[in-house]
Copies of this chain bind each other. A is one copy, B any other.
Amino acid sequence: MTTLSPTARSTVQRGKHRAVTERSRLYEILDAGLICHLAVEVDGAPVVLPTAYGRHGNTLYLHGSTGARSLRELIAGKPVCVAVTLVDGVVYSRSVFHHSMNYRSAVVHGTAELAEDVELGLRAIVDHVSPGSWDYARNPNKKEIAKTAVLAIDLTEASVKVREGGPGEEPEDLAADAVWAGVLPLHTTWGSPISDDATSHDVPAHVSERGR
């Protein structure tokens, strides 16, 4: 399935011209983000949790502790919604009303299920948040695996919206040419690695060359 197949709730209602229907764009946005925001109902009210994630094929993985009131207890088996949003800039139009943002947004609707293959899910999360770390750092032992709950969310029901380019304007504002208009881009960049005081090792390439 190379296109997104929106259901009623994954059909973009507002700003339809910003809707994107290629599944590859969903994956691009999920792979480019770092954290997601997960919404779930708890005790009759919605709760939103920022959390790390990873993707493997058409599945999104989240993890948490197996402790009380944990991700597992609160979320497993429930309907959830997950958003990954990348803000690319602020759009300054000639009118306050048409000010906007450039962004890439993915929203996934699904049910969070306990992952059968915990290690596969954990590896997807680690490969996403810190690519290279799984092959470099000490891997989880049995006790650590037992402490970790991994949730899997199918990516079939999803919507993607993208805004890019310059400001939209009213014809009279364009004609008046009263003020500047344009875009102020927003960039997210990696800084220089800060080594832990106690390490005797050089910064490895998977860290020093990240994003370069």
**Chain A interface residues toward B at CB < 8 A:** 9, 13-14, 34-35, 37-50, 52, 64-65, 67-70, 79-83, 85, 87, 89-90, 92-97, 99, 101, 103, 105, 107, 109, 122, 126, 129-130, 133-134, 136-140, 144, 148, 166-167, 173-174, 177-204, 207, 210
User: Is A37 in contact with B70, judged by CB distance below 8 angstroms?
Assistant: no
Instruction: Output the least CB separation between A97 and chain B (Å).
Output: 4
A94 touches B52 (CB 8 A): no
From B178, B191, B202, contact of A185 by CB (8 A): B191
Q: How far is the CA of A204 from the CA of B92 in the complex (A)?
A: 11
For residue A94, which residues in chain B have a CB less than 8 angstroms away from its CB?
137-138
Asked if A37 and B166 make an inter-chain contact with CB atoms under 8 angstroms apart, the answer reads no
Contact B95 A45 (CB under 8 A): no
Q: Contact check, B137 vs A93: say whether CB atoms are below 8 A apart.
A: yes
Q: Which residues of B contact A197 (CB under 8 A)?
A: 166
